[in-house]
Amino acid sequence: MTTQSSNSYSVDPQTAHQFYINGRWSSPVIPASLDVVNPATEQVVAQVARGSAEDVDRAVAAARAAFTGWSATSPELRARVLGKIHELILERKELFAQALTLEMGASISSARAMQVPLAAEHVRVARDLLSSYRFRTIEGGTAIEREPIGVCGLITPWNWPLYQITAKVAPAIAAGCTVVLKPSELSPLSALLFAQLVHDAGLPPGVFNLVNGSGAEVGAAMAAHPDIDMISITGSNRAGALVAQAAATTVKRVTQELGGKSPNVLLPDADFAKAVPLGVMAAFRNVGQSCSAPTRMIVPKSRLAEVESLAAATANAIIVGDPQAEDTQLGPIANEAQFNRIQTMIEAGLDEGAKLVCGGPGRVTGFEKGFYTRPTVFSNVDSAMRIAQEEIFGPVLCIIAYETVDEAVAIANDTIYGLGAHVQAQDLDLARAVASRIRAGQVHLNYPAWNPMAPFGGYKRSGNGREYGVQGFEEYLETKAIVGFGE
């Protein structure tokens, strides 16, 4: 797929203009291409093939033909293949890190420390589950069997490109499904690398297929396709709704991981000197381009001035710059449309009367090119403001004050979303009690370590279904009851 050494990455223009279908690289039915822009320079660095409904038909046909054989393989065989995929991701981690930096502006340090190793963890978890998961249980003479759902259409976003691919592909093929992947057209390079990797790992032809293209063309064709049994999408609410509507006519399973406006509730006994800086960095991780980023910091009104000072000091110390520089913490926003969206929302915060603590509109000083955004903190934010209700998807933090714990919980739940949440308190019983009252699919207490086994997904308009761990694996399985099976 690339001209490469073990530590370098460059796009192979021939392979980039092809899709991976039925175990080989092949050209699109209708020749067309999409530009890939480096957000650090705003220059086109590659072109990839642009797919059509006809290409989706070819990929689905390959996946359907491969399903019978792959679904009948043993868990042990599937685990061995996943083990090889995991091994190759780690072997090629620098190659992936460089590709991620080029295609979506991830700082090289975060690509190496988070984007690639956490992606590898999803593969490891899927592999390890196969050694313990019981696909058949007997309950009172009835056999409960869990069987692969079939051909899965997987639609992944631009903000965590490799991570979201492995979070879907690994459990799907572990379950015995076959897949058609549509990565984001804005960050497709790591997906091309992954396709070559699964080929090199020995995955049989047709089990994994890749078609690049737009959501309006390839994504819509996948969602409506009668031979796709399930769609899993991570993306915006608008995209998730369109996919669900298109999928409804064929009554396929649809799982969605969509937007978020996650709260971070600092209870009165929290260690503010620790909790506030960590909260700022959690909100700004991946330049704020994470659906579960805790971008609403909910704090006691009596501590507001202290929180503002701590937040400003943390945000102002963040190094924003060239993603290839070793000391850069935040690179550019991943694409121009998202950069413009963030600028619009910062202006909305100012117009609505929020207090600008630090940052603000405009590019980072010294960068005339590249989608570099100033880490921004607002205070005196009211829950009715746009910046408190709408997903900004950038390094913008809203500080909202409360008088009572009940009010803090009400503010936390005052959103159409329910993906993630954080609670900080020295009294763990109090933190647990507050967590149980927050309507979100995953709640973090006192900034715990990331857990790849913890199910992840949303309440309300943040989606449905779960990813990661056992629950994410089971999304790719059907349940069959065989009554009268016997003990």
Residues marked active site are found at 257, 291
Show the DSSP H helices in 72-176 as ranges.
Answer: 75-91, 93-104, 108-110, 116-129, 161-175
The three-class DSSP label of residue 196 is helix
What is the torsion angle, in degrees rounded to the nearest 10, for the CA atoms of residue 359, residue 42, residue 189 and residue 5? -100
Given CA atoms 8, 13, 14, 18 in this order, what sign does their dihedral have?
positive
Mapping DSSP onto H, E and C, the string for 430-467 reads HHHHHHHHCCCCEEEECCCCCCCCCCECCCHHHEECCE
Q: In this structure, which amino acid lies at residue 276?
A: V
Q: CA–CA separation, 231 vs 382, rounded Å?
A: 37
How far are the Cα atoms of 286, 333, 364, 371, 397 from residue 318, in angstroms, in the given order?
Answer: 12, 15, 12, 16, 14
Judge whether 355 and 412 are in contact, CB under 8 Å.
no
CA–CA–CA angle 233, 237, 238 (5° rounding): 100
How far are the Cα atoms of 7, 41, 291, 350, 420 from residue 113, in angstroms, in the given order?
Answer: 16, 23, 19, 35, 22
DSSP element (H, E) containing 310: helix 304-316
